[in-house]
Structure 1
């Protein structure tokens, strides 16, 4: 259950255009049109059943949400339907499991419409103009941010799922075209002292105390 009271947050309204999927084929958000702008809304996967039961493409919706820093995203705490019904994040069921879908090797190529983010604002993929959802691990996504930016040309290959809300591909390879795909593998940052010793040269220390003197008096 979300600790934030949704009524304490301002509501952003718009028209739901399409749902967004995670790599398991679950709805974990949607795109809505607010004025002349596309707005990406993140919702936890455990809200899928209630969301898809009460709202559909073309419906007017309201969202009580927080906005992560550095990401064009609303992380929803509650969604309000046109009839005023409030769908609140009450947390996942303990016995909840991922849905069972047939996974297939898939590829896609097209223009990025929106960058996709996780609830904390971490880059996690892209939505193509043809509606294909591309998902990439957050660490791998940091290596190819330019390919995931709006209007970029993106090609991917990976594990795909077809659902009633569209298709999603968990990318294993990516590039500007299908002919130039590269394996996605996050590079660990090099240590600060990669070309030298981690510590400075060891110095020999002299005795802890000065030389002993004869204190006998003449």
Structure 2
């Protein structure tokens, strides 16, 4: 995306003036940040608009995105929306129409199930599903609870638990993940309607 020789900082993203194209010609989406989401490695790699859609971005620009748009503040996102789900892959972002967009250096496809999670530890979550958790391509990959906890399922395991991932469903999960004041996220090894009614989740056959 950047022209050859353009200097960019992973912490802040590239500036629109360094590009050979105008990122504001991409589809734009404006919303108010409701909350940021962790992945099971403890990285922030997504946000939810108060208006509903999810937005995914590389963890290395999370601090820059949070800086211009803390929860409760609006943000403009330029990017690609999945064909069949309310999830947007961020390619540029700004605090408002008068601000110079910062550009994301690369597409981000979220946490790979094959990635090691050195910092992960056992985590248990339980609550009511707010909305499905989507992969950038629009596939359901888990659920987001009302308190912002993220439950991610191994690839290929979603179909067997689809009824538990719908808005309003009661959901409990345990597995390896991350928990801190900013939120919780777990790659589910066991899943059910309540902590006392968990059943094993099939492992990702591609791992």
Indicate yes or no: 2:200 matched with 1:183.
yes
Indicate yes or no: 2:136 matched with 1:119.
yes
Contact 1:123/1:138, CA 8 A, preserved across alignment:
no
Shift of 1:25: 1.2
Contact 1:46/1:91, CA 8 A, preserved across alignment:
no
1:43 to 57, 60, 75: 57
* 1:70 aligned residue: 84
* Unaligned runs of at least 5 residues, structure 1: 93-97, 189-218
Contact 1:122/1:138, CA 8 A, preserved across alignment:
no
Contact 1:26/1:45, CA 8 A, preserved across alignment:
yes
* 1:58 aligned residue: 72
Shift of 1:124: 1.6
* 1:13 aligned residue: 30
Contact 2:29/2:77, CA 8 A, preserved across alignment:
yes
SS at match of 1:121: coil
* 1:199 aligned residue: none
Shift of 1:43: 1.5
Contact 1:123/1:142, CA 8 A, preserved across alignment:
no
* 1:212 aligned residue: none
Aligned Cα root-mean-square deviation (Å): 2.7
Deviations 1:140-169 (A, max 9, x none): 223322211111111101123123521212
Shift of 1:5: 5.9
> Over alpha carbons, which structure has the higher Rg?
1
Deviations 1:157-192 (A, max 9, x none): 11231235212122111111222211110598xxxx
Distance (Å, rounded) in 1 between the aligned partners of 2:165 and 2:68:
31
Distance (Å, rounded) in 2 between the aligned partners of 1:167 and 1:86:
30
Shift of 1:57: 0.8
With the length of structure 1 as denominator, give the TM-score of the two structures. 0.72
Go from structure 1 to structure 2 and tell me whether the alpha carbon gap of 1:54 and 1:90 turns closer, same or farther (over 3 Å shift). same
Go from structure 1 to structure 2 and tell me whether the alpha carbon gap of 1:161 and 1:17 turns closer, same or farther (over 3 Å shift). same
Contact 2:157/2:203, CA 8 A, preserved across alignment:
yes
With the length of structure 2 as denominator, give the TM-score of the two structures. 0.75
| Aligned length, in residue pairs | 179
Contact 2:155/2:204, CA 8 A, preserved across alignment:
no
